[in-house]
Structure 1
């Protein structure tokens, strides 16, 4: 395979880079060569390849499919663009040995990347990622083989229907919007409603596939949701907008009145809903996710497991068994009986199911969960450019912030400073040159104070 080098560093489950600078056809050939040999050593077999709507994503996907086929693998290219959860579903549906998705998820439009899946349909595990990274060759031969193209959208929608209560969904009482942000999730919720005869008034937003994502980064956070916030500001409850990111594996929510319903709130409502529907297993959350879940689990009697950031860690807990739900601060939600992977479209349907089943708008359901937990919730996040020469070790000594003395430090993934009424987490991004600063507290004003002082501390380094 040639001399190895360590110039390609994997992020949370694969490799991402700026198109034509770090992410090139030559780079993808090297990655494909490593992944192909990795699968062949394990017996080979089928591989599914998918792509989202990013610039050149289809051309890169066809190149990778041809390369893997030229190595002797049986390759299926999904007709697309498709959301990443459909690629994960395809791996399971085809009983494939693995899969590769050409996407940079929520990263800015100039990025592209490849996510690698194992035979479960979930992200490759930590050890597998290290092994792949280590065997990427300095250069790879050009290969080209034949591959088959498949359309599995119908099968995927049927799989979603098996995981939700269609009668409860049909009772959703308001208007539904879907903002796909110009990404690959466009049309999927509408087609689901039509396929199963669900009489929910529906309106798409930013549905046209757009490689520049209509001028924003395709991450469903308030800074990128201006048009949707404006539309919903004129609506009354229980109308809501469900927002999927560039590759459809993350979910954001905007409520009537133009209020953002953050991923911690989404996950908390889903945990309570699924518990009441008989799913009594553990809830798995990552290190940046709300402490409400711990309090709710203690009150209701379900376990809560905390993992490092990256859904690959949640997937590992799913595979151990005994889980009911997993989720991330970034909007990724998964249920183990569906896939050991996040699925923004299934999470959207489960939220609608919760409203239809209870008759309560999401805000009311969340307030109920806060009452059970005995804790109020406010949250925000900063994404700061990494200062030159920044040394994360200097964050291992918590300092007073917002008038509160620290009461502890946790270092599972980054540095989390604990306070009597909140916490702050400092963590370098795994996919961009950013320092992410997360804060949760008992009031919005306290969150603002924590983040303002954390910013000053970082920028004054």
Structure 2
């Protein structure tokens, strides 16, 4: 079975494609690439999935057999903390054993660059070339030693947060770790910083089955958190981190889901108000509220394909060119990164920044976003449907046919954006995006419109047309 890299590394079903032997092959290819670049040390971490620790050990021994010294996490660890360790220790690269938000039967291997972020497309291609060549590995013996980065990571967060403002927060912060690698890390940071914030843990014990849901912080997976918040009032809200804690969703008092687009916009406004300046980087699937707000703030917007590696590229480009400096970058799936940090999405830092924005303004997340909607003169209504397709479904053909649609639910197609998948720009300030997942047998359908009625009608018709897709669909 071929090993295929997607939007963020390689993922496959445990014991089917994701096996010890395949992990060993990928780690050896990664190691040989790093050695070709003069690398001497690599950092390896893992999440709470079934066998993740053992897969990480297999990878560690593969790197050591290629002559690299390995720092192997001594317990499960969030991906952003692993990425920070790579940068903080000056390692040549990193590997994270995780399938992120994928279902429990999956595991995966994320590649991290020496700058502490998702491997760039160029790095991924180079590793793929080594993997395809099936070059023989070396038999040198590197050293494997334990990694503990928690304290250093927390100390770094201190430099990015307004601790005095956080101390003024009067509410409760719920944290749903979804059984994943973020378990205990927000509570640990609050203790480290001496903050009087009460953090209430939900699904805070590691669980390979993620308490019966996919570890993706979207409404259908957050029923428990939404139920808990229904009885809350005021500024109290909850955050949910995915399986490896690099993505974020939120739930406000009253039990209302607060999506990644809304978090992105609130943090953009907050960072700008704090004096932050720079480009705003968004994937093609992200709300137009973000670009409208950026325009009002006088900030340049860069749109990328889906995958944080493209956003990481923009952060790295901005390191050497002040005119291209990035203030904030994010994607629809809940991954956000900010200036001053590593070029990586970080669900833990973003949770704390959202808390900071609420404490600073004295308004809850929903009130802050409603203010932004008024400011940009646009009402945000968004949804996404993931259509499970079998291997016989022609995803390429379905996207090609969608690219020729002239109307959807009575809305005329005004233009087509083919940056990633097929995005139809519709009259009435709405859009529809169809895209094949790079990590699962799924065709994703995204819609944003200024009214709930229009959004639901466009989504329903698009799903029906894809499901009945034929030569004339």
Q: TM-score, normalised by structure 2?
A: 0.94
Q: How does 1:184-203 map to 2 (within 5 A)?
A: 184-203=181-200
State the shift of 1:287 in Å.
0.5
Pairing partner for 2:121 from 126, 148, 154: 126
Looking at structure 1, the residues matched to 222 and 295 of structure 2 have their Cα atoms a distance apart, in angstroms, of 35
State the shift of 1:224 in Å.
0.5
Looking at structure 2, the residues matched to 158 and 182 of structure 1 have their Cα atoms a distance apart, in angstroms, of 25
Looking at structure 2, the residues matched to 146 and 46 of structure 1 have their Cα atoms a distance apart, in angstroms, of 9
Q: Is the alpha carbon distance of 1:141 and 1:37 closer, same or farther for their aligned partners in structure 2, counting shifts above 3 Å? A: closer
The answer to whether the aligner puts 1:447 opposite 2:447 as a matched pair is no
State the shift of 1:134 in Å.
2.3
The answer to whether the aligner puts 1:255 opposite 2:252 as a matched pair is yes
Looking at structure 2, the residues matched to 413 and 449 of structure 1 have their Cα atoms a distance apart, in angstroms, of 23
Q: How does 1:12-411 map to 2 (within 5 A)?
A: 12-136=7-131, 138=134, 146-321=143-318, 322-386=325-389, 388-390=393-395, 391=397, 392-411=399-418
2:4 is aligned to: 9
Looking at structure 1, the residues matched to 170 and 286 of structure 2 have their Cα atoms a distance apart, in angstroms, of 30
State the shift of 1:406 in Å.
1.2
Cα deviation per residue 1:30-80 (whole Å; 9 max; x = unaligned)? Answer: 101111110111112110000011000000101111110111111100122
Looking at structure 1, the residues matched to 288 and 405 of structure 2 have their Cα atoms a distance apart, in angstroms, of 19
Which stretches of structure 1, 4 residues or more, deviate above 4 A after TM superposition?
137-145
Contact 1:49 1:77 in 2 (8 A): yes
Out of 139-148 and 318-327, give the one that drifted further. Answer: 139-148
Looking at structure 1, the residues matched to 387 and 135 of structure 2 have their Cα atoms a distance apart, in angstroms, of 34
Looking at structure 1, the residues matched to 215 and 40 of structure 2 have their Cα atoms a distance apart, in angstroms, of 34
Looking at structure 2, the residues matched to 335 and 138 of structure 1 have their Cα atoms a distance apart, in angstroms, of 38
- SS in structure 1 of the partner of residue 266 of structure 2: helix
Looking at structure 1, the residues matched to 192 and 466 of structure 2 have their Cα atoms a distance apart, in angstroms, of 51
Out of 135-144 and 447-456, give the one that drifted further. Answer: 135-144
| Superposition RMSD in Å | 1.4
Out of 162-171 and 390-399, give the one that drifted further. Answer: 390-399
Looking at structure 2, the residues matched to 70 and 386 of structure 1 have their Cα atoms a distance apart, in angstroms, of 40
Pairing partner for 1:431 from 431, 439, 444: 439
Looking at structure 2, the residues matched to 268 and 443 of structure 1 have their Cα atoms a distance apart, in angstroms, of 18
- SS in structure 2 of the partner of residue 237 of structure 1: coil
Q: Is the alpha carbon distance of 1:145 and 1:319 closer, same or farther for their aligned partners in structure 2, counting shifts above 3 Å? A: closer
Q: Which runs of 5+ in 2 are unaligned?
A: 319-324
State the shift of 1:83 in Å.
0.3
Looking at structure 2, the residues matched to 202 and 25 of structure 1 have their Cα atoms a distance apart, in angstroms, of 38
Q: Which runs of 5+ in 1 are unaligned?
A: 1-5
Looking at structure 2, the residues matched to 154 and 22 of structure 1 have their Cα atoms a distance apart, in angstroms, of 36
- SS in structure 2 of the partner of residue 35 of structure 1: helix
State the shift of 1:353 in Å.
0.4
Looking at structure 2, the residues matched to 142 and 15 of structure 1 have their Cα atoms a distance apart, in angstroms, of 23
State the shift of 1:13 in Å.
2.6
Contact 1:30 1:140 in 2 (8 A): no
Looking at structure 1, the residues matched to 242 and 157 of structure 2 have their Cα atoms a distance apart, in angstroms, of 18
Looking at structure 1, the residues matched to 27 and 41 of structure 2 have their Cα atoms a distance apart, in angstroms, of 14
- SS in structure 2 of the partner of residue 406 of structure 1: strand
Contact 1:70 1:146 in 2 (8 A): no
Looking at structure 1, the residues matched to 101 and 256 of structure 2 have their Cα atoms a distance apart, in angstroms, of 21
Q: Is the alpha carbon distance of 1:419 and 1:409 closer, same or farther for their aligned partners in structure 2, counting shifts above 3 Å? A: same
Q: Is the alpha carbon distance of 1:408 and 1:423 closer, same or farther for their aligned partners in structure 2, counting shifts above 3 Å? A: same
Contact 1:408 1:418 in 2 (8 A): yes
State the shift of 1:402 in Å.
2.2
Cα deviation per residue 1:328-358 (whole Å; 9 max; x = unaligned)? Answer: 1000010131110100000000000001111
State the shift of 1:234 in Å.
1.1
Looking at structure 1, the residues matched to 401 and 43 of structure 2 have their Cα atoms a distance apart, in angstroms, of 44
Looking at structure 1, the residues matched to 122 and 283 of structure 2 have their Cα atoms a distance apart, in angstroms, of 19
Out of 131-140 and 160-169, give the one that drifted further. Answer: 131-140
State the shift of 1:141 in Å.
6.0
Looking at structure 1, the residues matched to 60 and 432 of structure 2 have their Cα atoms a distance apart, in angstroms, of 43
Contact 1:13 1:129 in 2 (8 A): no
Cα deviation per residue 1:302-342 (whole Å; 9 max; x = unaligned)? Answer: 11111100000001111121110011100001013111010
1:3 is aligned to: none
